[in-house]
Amino acid sequence: MRALRSTLLCTTVLACGDSTGTTSTATVGGTTGGGTTQSGVTGGPDATGSSGDTPTGGSDSMTASGTTTAAATTSTSDTSVTATTTDATGTRTTTGTSSTSDTTTTGTTAVDTTSTGSTTSGDSTTGVVDGCPCNDNLEVPLDDGVFVLSITAELWKFFPMNNSFTKLGNLSCNLPPATFSMAVDRLGFAWVQYSGGELRTIDVTDVTKCTDPGYAVGQMGITNFGMAFVSNSESDACDRIYGNRATGIPEGNAVSDFFAIDPMSLNVAPVGKSNYGTAEVTGTGDGRAFLFAGANPAKLVEIDKATGKTLSVIPLPGVELGSAWAFAFFGGDFYFFTNSKNGPGSEVTHIDYDDSDNNGKQDITIVVPDAPISIVGAGVSTCAPTAPQ
């Protein structure tokens, strides 16, 4: 997801622009063994409490989904379980059955994580819902890398295994080429946000296919926002877009809004206030949401997607957002794409978030000092691995 300049259910978001209709390969960057270690962060994240506390840093991004419930009440209502399919044009088809169940509200602000996929099937031993399966038959896989979007509406792919880039093509959405952010769903679509706030869905296997999903720009007064798909939970793979409103204020008490976008109606649902106004968002397949935000230095912030409250903050010494930025979670770690030099290209920085080398530190390393494009969006579907590869 990106924050310089968004989303269908289970799709990948990327930028739209001129299309070439071909896939070209340009391998750029170092190898997994390369890179310059900037610093090591010892221990785990620092707990920060609620979002009402001003964190040590932040940046724009919006991520939220939820509804506000009033006093505790118990009622019996019909709820529908909806199965959603999306064809190559981005058209959504839904079917569903109804069942009656008792629901109790708690009187607190909470995210509505009702599954958008059928829960009739699943692994009875693990309890994992498979109503929103990954599309495993794509020519461009969803689980081997990070999709990245250039400010000029080019879609590329970054491969963490060898820190290389491959160009997928130019987008052709008949919109001014300046792009702002991107998210990727589980079906193989990139949701690309343009600078005017428009969302378009792109088929990652053919980037010339650009579809308007029907998102209404300007809801809640929001134009641009950092964005990402986040699964409902570790046991419910169905996901939705979370966003963090871009206000231009890097950080401060309640300077932005964290929200969610309903996967069927594409309506914005407020979740809570955000302390970061220039943040990008990324999500994981096990239901966690994070922001890349703040300044002097930038920070990795975990957010409670049900309330928008800050759960933890990790400073990133030596990492600054610059004029274009994005980040993504892949294989247990995070990759930050920044343009701190304010020129062409980007730097790629890796944090060993899960301490996979067991040295007791979350090492921060520049793995690509000169990426070929200025990256404003980065997206991985929630099908991407959450453990080291």
**Domain coordinates of the chain in residue numbers?**
36-67+132-379
What is the rounded end-to-end Cα distance, in angstroms, of the chain? 22
pTM for this model (two decimals): 0.71
Nearest to 50 by CA among 371, 308, 314: 308
130: alpha, beta or left? (left if phi > 0; alpha if psi -120 to 50):
alpha
What is the largest distance, in Å, between two alpha-carbon atoms of the chain?
A: 59
How does pLDDT run across 92-139, given as a tens digit for each residue? 443 433 333 343 333 333 444 443 443 334 443 445 546 899 999 999
Structure tokens at 323: 């004029």
For domain 36-67+132-379, give the fold: Neuraminidase (2.120.10)
How does pLDDT run across 193-245, given as a tens digit for each residue? 999 999 999 999 999 999 999 999 999 999 999 999 999 999 999 999 999 99
How does pLDDT run across 239-269, given as a tens digit for each residue? 999 999 999 999 999 999 999 999 999 999 9
Is pLDDT of 53 > 90? no
Least reliable range by pLDDT among 58-72, 173-187, 267-281: 58-72
pLDDT-based confidence at residue 56 (cuts at 50, 70, 90): very low
pLDDT-based confidence at residue 344 (cuts at 50, 70, 90): confident
Type of residue numbered 204: V
Instruction: Report pLDDT for 340.
Output: 85
Residue 199 · residue 208 · CB < 8 Å: no
Residue 163 · residue 34 · CB < 8 Å: yes
Strand partners, 351: 334, 364
Tokens 């206000």 found at:
247
Structure tokens at 356: 């996979």
How does pLDDT run across 265-298, given as a tens digit for each residue? 999 999 999 999 999 999 999 999 999 999 889 9
Strand partners, 322: 339
With a CB cutoff of 8 Å and minimum separation 6, the contacts of 337 are: 2, 148, 158, 324, 325, 326, 327, 346, 347, 348, 371, 375, 378
How does pLDDT run across 316-343, given as a tens digit for each residue? 999 999 999 999 999 999 999 999 888 8
pLDDT-based confidence at residue 5 (cuts at 50, 70, 90): very low
